[in-house]
Amino acid sequence: SITRHYKFDIKLANVTRLCHTKSIVTVNGKFPGPRIVVREGDKLLVKVVNHVPNNITLHWHGVRQLGSGWSDGPSYITQCPIKTGQSYVYNFTIVGQRGTLFWHAHFSWLRATLYGPLILLPTHNQSYPFQKPYKELSILFGEWWNADPEAVIAQALQTGGGPNVSDAYTINGLPGPLYNCSKDTYKLKVKPGKTYLLRLINAALNDELFFTIANHTLIVVETDASYVKPFESDTILLGPGQTTNVLLKTKPDYPNSTFFMLARPYFTGMGTFDNSTAAGILEYTKPYNNHTIITNLPIIKPSLPSINDTNFVANFSNKFLSLNSPKYPANVPKTIDKNFFFTVGLGTSPCPKNQTCQGPNNSSKFAASMNNESFSLPSIALLQQHYFSGQANNGSYTTDFPVVPLRPFNYTGTPPNNTMVSNGTKTVVIPYNTRVQVVLQETSILGAESHPLHLHGFNFFVVGQGFGNFNDSTDPAKFNLVDPVERNTVAVPSGGWLAIRFLADNPGVWLMHCHLDVHLSWGLRMAWIVKDGKLPNQKLPPPPKDLPKC
């Protein structure tokens, strides 16, 4: 293993999409941002220098950060933001992980333009547990706003309404030809008779996305940097924060057409969303004369599941199982020490006097919560408060996050009359090596909606899921404790529930939140505090000298 150095200069760059040129926040002037490639066991040092007026932090989404909690990155959770003119070195080692992850900004809505692939290769002496690909490519899905994304969410929080939806979805930063005035299209150029590994990354802010390539079947082999039992699918669904590696086997001979690849949302919630479609082109390229070929061939367009096809989504997510081979066993906690029940969903908060709000019934503000608690960010990072005071109540957070819902009701039945959420900065404290189970129940208070939930610092096993209300006496018996999929982001199904398990073997403060940025901004988040263990290597080390101050 080696140490890999990257320098990320955060700077403005002019980018044109949909005939609209604007100055955006980038890493090294690139959009999407640069790719990081590292091997399992390598140490990564990323020096981030902030040259823009905005505060920023970066997060290494899905990296376990074992013993390196100061490098995780969510603003006001593990660190204060890197201010203009300041720098910070993210310093961590890739332990026991290989596959596709990504990095993104974790401050306000900056991840709309600050994101890029984070590729974890296996160690030199390991191969993939599937056919060796001829080539590997990253395909990032994103969202483009003609407006400034930070201003979009600031205005929504001010008025209490839903934020303006994006103007386009993108594939590797490009909306593609189905949008008006879209000049550039991502082209995936392939040769016949080969196997390609596509590293799919959903970096969109607010949408789960279906992805498909016309007339080609994809073989899923890995998700969230964990190997799965391979399965075939024409369409892939990715929640924001999810990554999926698929094998694409190209046709044996040159076809007489090119093929669209499409990305479009899956959405069941209320309110407006962008139901447009990003498109790229899969093109079989003959050496030396590709131009005549491209312009003359017809393009075949695939079909996608309907926008609200929850049946497809449930079937698709049930296909994910851990590879669970002798080399890559699924280490599911067979017994648990702590059992939590968290609701996730939307709600409302009061409209300030003398203001008109644009939330539900035009008289409230949208809010979102877990167990009816909408989480407010503290003014000093929680990890600093935790490390230096060692006890909670001196600081601006409390340790009384409710471990069961405060207001039980028939979640997927008639919504309650009172949709108001509580506000606070509440955490759950657990001892080192606690075996945790969390049942997540979608509340359907303001329309049933799927919530892609992300846990920092851990992978978890998805041991069960279903529709309707979780049934305490019958559902646990059906849990899969043998080969459940291991992930860092999973959607709590629209109108349903989900059960996860993880071993809390990583001391620090770890955010858990909906990866739809609008719900995150509305407070659908909470934090776990995992205490130090007894041995020296079970303790959170002191903060690095350059840790930004608030």
The DSSP letter of residue 231 is E
Contacts of 198 (CB under 8 A, 6+ apart): 136, 137, 138, 139, 188, 218, 245, 246, 247, 248
Using CB under 6 A as the criterion, what x/- string covers residues 313-332 for binding ligand C2O?
Answer: --------------------
User: Contact region for ligand C2O (CB under 6 A) — 122-130, 296-304, 342-350, 511-519?
Assistant: 511-519
Taking the complex as a whole, how short is the minimal distance between the CB of residue 488 and ligand C2O, in angstroms? Answer: 8
CB closer to ligand C2O, 34 vs 468:
34
Binding track over 423-462 against ligand C2O, x by CB under 6 A: -------------------------------x-x------
* Residue 511 interacting with ligand C2O (CB under 6 A): yes
In the complex, least distance from residue 129 CB atom to ligand C2O, rounded to whole angstroms = 26
Q: What distance in Å separates the CA atoms of residue 522 and residue 369, rounded to the nearest whole number?
A: 8
Q: Whole-number minimum distance, CB 179 to ligand C2O, in Å? A: 26
Nearer to ligand C2O, 222 or 283 (CB): 222
Residue type, 158: Q
Count residues near ligand C2O (CB under 6 A).
11
> Torsions phi, psi of 468, nearest 5?
75, -160
Residues 334 to 373 in contact with ligand C2O, rule: CB under 6 A: none
Pair 457, 71: CB distance under 8 Å: no
The stretch among 7-15, 20-28, 302-310, 510-518 that binds ligand C2O (CB under 6 A) is: 510-518
> Tokens 């400034």 map to which residue?
148
Sign of the alpha-carbon dihedral angle for 355, 358, 359, 365: negative
> Which residue type sits at 322?
S
Residue 74 is a binding residue for ligand C2O (CB under 6 A):
yes
Stretch that binds ligand C2O, among 212-220, 337-345, 442-450, 508-516 (CB under 6 A): 508-516
Structural tokens at position 397: 């957070």
Q: Which is nearer to ligand C2O, 133 or 241 (CB)?
A: 241
Kindly tell me which of 69 and 74 has the beta carbon lying closer to ligand C2O: 74
Distance CA 13, CA 23 (A): 5
Residue sitting closest to ligand C2O (CB): 61
Cα-based distances in Å from 130 to 95, 125, 242, 318: 21, 15, 21, 21
| Comparison of 456 and 531: residue with beta carbon closer to ligand C2O | 456
User: Which two structure tokens, joined as six digits, stand for 487?
Assistant: 């992930």
- In the complex with ligand C2O, which residue's Cβ is closer, 384 or 488? 488
Report which of 480, 473, 386, 365 is spatially closest to residue 428, judged by C-alpha positions: 386
The β-bridge partners of 49 are 9, 87
Q: Which of 482, 432, 421, 478 is nearest to 457 (CA)?
A: 432
Of residues 106 and 487, the one with the C-beta less far from ligand C2O? 106
**H-helix or E-strand spanning residue 423:** strand 422-424
Instruction: Look up tokens 């809505």; give the residue.
Output: 109
* Residues 278-317 as x/- pattern, contact with ligand C2O by CB under 6 A: ----------------------------------------
d(CA 90, CA 72): 8
Shortest distance (Å) from residue 528 CB to ligand C2O: 13
Partnered with residue 465 across adjacent β-strands are: 498
Strand-by-strand arrangement of the 20-27 sheet: 20-27, 3-17, 43-50, 87-93
Question: Of 74 and 405, which has the nearer Cβ to ligand C2O?
Answer: 74
One character per residue 155-194, x = contact with ligand C2O (rule: CB under 6 A) = ----------------------------------------
Check residue 487 for interaction with ligand C2O (CB under 6 A).
no
Q: Nearer Cβ to ligand C2O, position 213 or 381?
A: 381
Neighbours of 332 (CB within 10 A): 22
Using the rule CB under 6 A, is 513 a contact of ligand C2O?
yes
Question: What region does 522 belong to: left with phi over 0, alpha with psi -120 to 50, or beta?
Answer: alpha
Cα separation, 57 vs 67, in Å, equals: 19
The reply on whether position 239 binds ligand C2O by CB under 6 A is no
Classify 425 as helix, strand or coil. coil
> Token pair for residue 153?
């969410």
Nearest residue to 102 via CA among 281, 273, 238? 238
Which one of 241, 359, 415, 452 is in contact with ligand C2O (CB under 6 A)?
241
Nearer to ligand C2O, 104 or 386 (CB): 104
Which amino acid appears at position 303 of this protein? S
Q: Which is nearer to ligand C2O, 73 or 415 (CB)?
A: 73
Minimum CB distance to ligand C2O, residue 314 (Å): 24
DSSP string, 236-273: EEE-TT-EEEEEEEPPSS--SSEEEEEEEEE--SSS--
Angstrom distance (rounded) from CA 515 to CA 527 = 14
Out of 61, 187, 435, 487, the residue judged to bind ligand C2O by CB under 6 A:
61
Q: For ligand C2O, give the closer residue by CB, 74 or 99.
A: 74
Least Cβ distance, residue 73 to ligand C2O (angstroms) = 8
Near ligand C2O in 40-59, by CB under 6 A: 59
- Which one among 64, 98, 104, 435 touches ligand C2O, defined by CB under 6 A? 104
> What residue type is 163 in one-letter code?
P
Nearer residue to ligand C2O within complex by CB, 203 or 213: 203
CB closer to ligand C2O out of 111 and 365: 111
Residue 22 CB, nearest distance to ligand C2O (Å)?
24
Taking contact as CB under 6 A, which single stretch among the options 118-126, 157-165, 325-333, 507-515 is the one that binds ligand C2O? 507-515
- Bridge partners, 492 (sequence order): 451
Closest separation in Å from C-beta 61 to ligand C2O: 4
Q: Which residues bind ligand C2O (CB under 6 A)?
A: 59, 61, 74, 104, 106, 241, 454, 456, 511, 513, 515
